[in-house]
Every structure is written in structure tokens, then in C-alpha cells.
Structure 1
Amino acid sequence: MVTLGTAPAGAEQRLSELGIVLPSPPTPLGAYVEAVRTGNLVFFSGMLPVVEREPQFVGRIGGELTLEDGRKAAATATLNGLSAAKALLGSLDCVAAIAKLGVYIATEGDFREHAKVADGASELLEAIFGTEKLSPRIVLGVASLPLGVPIELELVLEVDDGPPR
């Protein structure tokens, strides 16, 4: 764990230390919003591995795309989710926990390594937020996803704005 003195480093500092620059926040591809906060939870629309509205990966894992392509696509979708979170919240330092992670993977029918693909998202979240903020997750193989991408991420964050003022 990265630390400053005795307090754990915040997510923003970890991003910097990891050399990660968040992409521009994604924009909706239809009639919806990317993220909404209700109480201390932030719910996200399905995050895709797109940059500037262009898919970075197209195809199914175990077919046109490899397991490693799937891990990279999962990481790209995760960065889009974090970018949307930062746009909504102002800082990722207020993230108290990842409440839920769902990873939907377009695969060929005989593909069996779903968990390894999903680790592309989980390991990135762990590097940024720490093991103590990881969540349970669900990983599903599906026939197809929007734009032909191999990954769609479902993310729910718990936020803590600190003590009342």
C-alpha cells in the first residue's frame, strides 16, 4: 500500500504515482446519463472500452480477441468509469468503497477464463483504491454488447464527503 506518513495515500495520489491520466469523461450514446448519485451511492451506466466515442476493442474474447485484449478492454472501461466519477464528484478521494463491480464479457461459447478477464478491472481498482475498498463482483459471459465491444462494466461506488459542516 502506498502511504504518506501514517495515512494511506488517496486515489488521486495513487493515480499520479501509477502514471495514470484519466481519459475525458465518456458521453452517453443514447438517452441516459453516465452517472447519478443518490445518497452516498453513485451508480454508473454501463462503461465501455471506448475513447472519444470510438471502440478500442471490437469482437469476442476467445474469438477475434485474446484474454489479454479482454483485460486491456476491462481496464479501459474502468478508467472511463473513474473519469465519469471524477467529473461527477470532483475528486476520487471521496470514494469510500467500490460497492459493486459487474463485468459483462462478450465471449465465444467455449471460453472459460471470464474471471481472468475481469481481473483487468479489479486489479486496476485495487491499485488505485487499495484492497480494503474492493467489492464483490459478478462476471458474466454474453453473446453481444453495444458497438461490438467485448466488455461492459457495471460500477457502484460508495462516497464519503467527510463530516457534516
Structure 2
Amino acid sequence: MLDTTLHERDRELDAASAEHGFDPNVPLQIGGRYSSLVRDGRTIYLSGQIPRIGDHVAVTGVVGAEVSMERAKRAAAICALRALTLLRQELGSLDKLQAVLRMTVFVHCDAGFTQQSEVADGASDLVWRVLGAGGAHTRTSVGVQQLPKNAAVELDLIAACVEA
């Protein structure tokens, strides 16, 4: 009997990526002397991801002043797509991912903005959509004065894979 759940997460990543105009099969650009991810046994640490599609940052500016909640949540989702893409590139398939353990979401916002967690929901919702229960994670969301390339959102995460 054929296992129809095989690579279900990968198909869902591809579908979510298409909705955001993101191609998860294109190598991701990094801008410095660091690694996009580091693997230590079953634990994988990902560097911060901004909402870059190709060589263009898709959502820039200050959330709550120049960037709407809808666009900010989209930025968070694109950051999550990038993170999941890096995990798939490392593991060969998201089916080899046990769980996302921790996510930190940084929101470039004005001083009076207090809805960082709602912005972060854009990333959390996407991770849950792609990974199901494996997407349940701890999370911190914070407001910051500035992010690289004037990005509206940046996230990093820690994940666990099935085997070392």
C-alpha cells in the first residue's frame, strides 16, 4: 500500500510558497560571514530570516506607521517560508523534522505599536499549516527600532529533526 502522507509537509510548503510568490527551490541568499543554519545532533539553529523573495525584501518599513497589519503578517509568513525552506534543504524533506521548538519574531515598529504577537501569528500560522502538530512551538515576539535592509519583520528559530 502506498503511503500518501509521505512528503505531505513538502507539498504544503510548496503550496504556501506559491501563494506568497516565493520559490522554495531557489537557493537562499545570505549576506555575510555566517551560516544560515547550524546543526548540533538533532537540534538545528537557524539564523534570522527577513522577508526576502529572491534579491528583493518584499515588505519594508515601520509596522504601525508605514506597514499595515496584513502586510506585516505576510512578512512574518515569508520569513517562516524561508526558515522552512532552509530546514528542507538541510534534511531533504520536512518529513524528517520532528518539531519547531522555539521561534523569535522581531517586528520593526513605531513606539506606540503593541501588536507584535499578532504580527508573529503570521509566521506561527504558516508553520502550523505546513507542519501540523510538529509546528507547535514556544515563541517570543518583540518590537525593535530597526531591522536589516529596513525589513518589517525578522525571525529566527530552533528546530529538532527526527535523527542525528
Aligned to 1:144: 146
Aligned to 1:15: 13
- TM-score, with length taken from structure 1: 0.86
SS class of match (1:116): helix
Residues 76, 5 of structure 1: alpha-carbon distance in 2 compared, 3 angstrom cutoff = same
Residues in 1 aligned to 2:126 and 2:47: alpha-carbon distance in whole angstroms: 19
How far did 1:161 drift? 3.1
In 1, are the aligned partners of 2:77 and 2:122 still within 8 Å (CA)?
Answer: yes
Matched, 1:130 2:128: no
- TM-score, with length taken from structure 2: 0.87
Residues 11, 109 of structure 1: alpha-carbon distance in 2 compared, 3 angstrom cutoff = same
Residues 70, 37 of structure 1: alpha-carbon distance in 2 compared, 3 angstrom cutoff = same
How far did 1:139 drift? 0.3
1:130-151 per-position Cα deviation (integer Å, ceiling 9, x unaligned): 1354111000000000000011
Residues 99, 141 of structure 1: alpha-carbon distance in 2 compared, 3 angstrom cutoff = same
How far did 1:68 drift? 0.7
SS class of match (1:123): helix
Residues in 1 aligned to 2:7 and 2:126: alpha-carbon distance in whole angstroms: 15
SS class of match (1:130): helix
1:119 to 110, 121, 127: 121
Residues in 1 aligned to 2:50 and 2:92: alpha-carbon distance in whole angstroms: 21
Deviates more, 1:9-18 or 1:151-160: 9-18
Residues in 2 aligned to 1:127 and 1:147: alpha-carbon distance in whole angstroms: 28
**Count of aligned pairs:** 159
2:58 to 56, 59, 62: 56
Structure 2 residues without counterparts, runs of 5 or longer: none
Residues in 2 aligned to 1:92 and 1:79: alpha-carbon distance in whole angstroms: 12
Residues in 1 aligned to 2:34 and 2:44: alpha-carbon distance in whole angstroms: 15
How far did 1:6 drift? 10
How far did 1:22 drift? 2.4
Residues in 2 aligned to 1:92 and 1:106: alpha-carbon distance in whole angstroms: 29
Residues 63, 23 of structure 1: alpha-carbon distance in 2 compared, 3 angstrom cutoff = farther
1:36 to 19, 38, 47: 38
